[in-house]
A and B are shown apart, each in its own frame.
Chain A
Amino acid sequence: MRLKGLALVATLLSGTSALAQEPLDIVFTVHSGASNTFWQAVQKGFEDGCTKLAANCQMVYVQTDGSVQEQVANMEAAIARNPDALLTSIVDNNAFDDVIKRARDAGIIVIASNVDDLEGAAGNARQAFIGQGFVPAGYSLAQAQWKNMPAEGDLHILVGVSAPGQNWSEQRALGVTNFLDEQIAANPDRKITYEKIDSGTDLATVGDRVGAYLSANPNTNAYFDTGFWHAAVGRVLADRGVEPGKVLLGGFDLVPEVLEQMKAGYVQVQVDQQPYMQGFMPVMQVYLAKTVGLAPADIDTGQGIVTPDMVDAIMELSAKGLR
């Protein structure tokens, strides 16, 4: 027994997967198309993790952004190969239950990443979730931005739901509006209002739509986007000669455009869900599960709020695809 234990530890310390005779086979299915920049960081984390373990890894995107059916089909194809593990985002509460159960029955490790079933661990058979809680993230974003809003007087806020009906967008918006609702209740003497619009997932379209809204509602104090497309709004404000900070902007995910706008002062807060971690950590957990039998555990990759003073350091890492 002691010898076996020593052997295990030795293997772990040497950092190779010598115990596993063949390389680990891991598939990662996602609900997004390959052209979404955010996922490039996840993929880098995933691939870096796999390289460290000399594992056999494949990331599978869908053709139609957000298509649940396509993702389920991809998962079916993936488990047909009988990999060691299936990593996946879970953007629907029911559609994946069956395929995940079958994967678990076949002995495949299943870990959820990036988006989780709304019912959490009770929703399906996935063993852990590594990612960001969207509702808490939205809440934190609004909370952070609240500090920048005028302390007195009426407030009007616009919330842009990038993809109405899609889990990730709706939940982030919900988090934001939850916080706003609390503020409305806590400040009965002030007129605080907010509105939600379908803002879109195309930079030019979002810029145009929010621009139109701002023209119609010049008293708008802040705009929240459920993605990174508020970067275009920064451009629009600059074009109109509006000074940075007059209309507060905040959103999700660190992409270079947003960082630029933060430097310029148009974007004040941004939520980072540390996508690199969402790709890297699940791989490590698979390794630990396979070699030492450790049960995968949930990891909250963070509601890291990014502010302008952190931008330079992040930009370097962003260029390397790490953040």
Chain B
Amino acid sequence: MRRLLKLALQKPELAATLLLLLMVLFFQVRSGGVFLDYNNLRGILGFLPEMALVAIGVTLLMIAGEFDLSVGSVFALSPMTMAVLMVAGWSFWPAFLVALLACVVVGLLNGWLTIWFDIPSFITTLGMMFMARSMTVVVSGGFPPRLDFELIPEHLFVAYVGPGEMFRASFLWLVAIAVIVGMLLSRTNFGNWVRATGGFLPAAQAMGIPTHRVKLACFVICSVLAGLAGIIQVLRLGSPLPSLGMGYELQAVSAAVIGGTSLSGGIGSIIGGIIGATLIRVIDNGMVMSQIDGTWFQFAVGALTIFAVVGNAWLRKRGRAMKVETDPK
């Protein structure tokens, strides 16, 4: 039993889950029992898939050893592209596919520039963040196009599904994609290559892994997931504004790190990233309920986030330090 606890504490996702439960409990008490009320939970679960999908992409790329700061801008560029095409007369699915294709292009550019010119991805994607945001304004022609929701299969993306109408279809997308990417990472040879590339690039290269192609693939997956998330948000909230997704890149990296992803690569988990994203949403939402003064709000969110990361690291250290007899072999 003790051994199980030791193993559990060392897994970053489990430590993050513990913290999540702690936070939920804390807010439930502070809000006088309202935090977990039906409507509020529904709201959180509606927003969560959009944040979490971005976090999944960023996590995967960080495991491969690179960063993508342009996800927030791609989050806006993708639905804007789709909306502009639809206003021009295209039907939903072709517009949707072209929007995702635009994300593929951004991902390839991010990857190619980083790898070919050997510059830190932090810088490449920082530049892309500005460029993609600007492209979004350009594409919109200055004015956000109106989407005709008659032409959009909302039920596939944002309609409420399941018992009690608690979850939206986007949540199912999140689960499916989380499973796919998670399996990709842990059960395929590609996943092995991703960890090796991020974990210790020289060894990966020396053993013949096509590290450039691995990184490129991760850049593309990251951008596409961000673009998909943006489309989902626009389908949920109705308007493709050029200002969507601002600041999401930092939240996504925070989510990944809280979930146990290492900033230096190789270590991380998809589940951890999702839990991290959930934690961030819970903190943001719960803080409102806790009657924190408006001017202290940002401070409180930041402090809690630091607490979450520190708590995570501390729990893992305790787990490592636990004295358990190892089996003599």
Contacts and interface: CB of A to CB of B under 8 A. Distances in A.
Q: Consider the complex of A and B and state whether they touch directly, i.e. have CB atoms less than 8 Å apart.
A: yes
Contact of B242 (A35, A195, A235): A35
Contacts of B42: 239-240
B285 A198 contact: no
B202 to A, nearest CB: 37
Interface of A: 33-37, 40, 43-44, 63, 65, 161, 164-165, 195-198, 201-205, 207-216, 231-232, 235-236, 239-240, 255-257, 260, 318-319, 321
Contact of B40 (A202, A212, A256): A212
Contacts of A33: 133, 243
Nearest to A38: B243
Contact of B238 (A34, A37, A40, A260): A260
Interface stretch (B175-183, B186-194, B293-301): B293-301
B101 to A, nearest CB: 22
B70 to A, nearest CB: 14
A259 to B, nearest CB: 10
A297 B130 CA distance: 37
B288 A212 contact: yes
A256 B144 contact: yes
B126 to A, nearest CB: 11
B43 A212 contact: yes
Contact of B144 (A37, A214, A215): A37
Contact of B76 (A35, A43, A255): A35
B43 A37 contact: no
B31 A216 contact: yes
B92 interface: no
Contacts of B243: 33, 35-37, 201-202
B239 A256 contact: yes
Specify which of A44, A215, A260, A321 lies most central, judged by the most chain B CB atoms within 10 Å of its CB. A215
Given A34-B137, A35-B242, A196-B294, 17 more contacts: A33-B133, A35-B76, A36-B242, A65-B246, A201-B243, A201-B246, A202-B247, A203-B237, A207-B47, A209-B285, A211-B40, A215-B37, A215-B289, A216-B40, A240-B42, A257-B238, A260-B239
Contacts of A43: 142
A162 to B, nearest CB: 10
A216 B143 contact: no
Contacts of B130: 63
A256 B237 contact: no
A204 B237 contact: yes
Given A216-B31, A232-B237, A207 B43 contact: yes
12 contacts: A202-B246, A203-B233, A204-B50, A208-B281, A208-B285, A211-B40, A212-B43, A216-B35, A239-B43, A239-B46, A240-B42, A256-B239
A240 B34 CA distance: 15
B297 A215 contact: no
Interface range on chain B: under 10, 10 to 19, 20 to 34, or 35 or more? 35 or more
Instruction: Give 6 closest A-B pairs by Cβ, nearest first.
Output: A35-B242, A198-B297, A215-B40, A40-B142, A211-B43, A212-B288
Contacts of A214: 39
Contacts of A165: 295
Contacts of A321: 142-143
B146 interface: yes
A271 to B, nearest CB: 19
A236 B40 CA distance: 10
A128 to B, nearest CB: 26
Interface string B124-150: 000000100110110000111010000
Nearest to A318: B143
A255 B241 CA distance: 10
B102 to A, nearest CB: 17
A292 B327 CA distance: 95
B24 interface: no
Interface in B280-307: 281, 284-286, 288-289, 291, 294-295, 297-298
A209 B239 contact: no
Contacts of A239: 42-43, 46
A204 B142 contact: no
A235 B238 contact: yes
A205 to B, nearest CB: 7
B44 interface: yes
A132 B141 CA distance: 26
Contact of B134 (A34, A198, A211, A318): A34
Given A255-B144, A256-B144, A321-B142, A161 B37 contact: no
B95 interface: no
B244 interface: yes
A205 B144 contact: no
Given A215-B40, A231-B239, A164 B294 contact: yes
Contacts of A212: 35, 40, 43, 285-286, 288-289
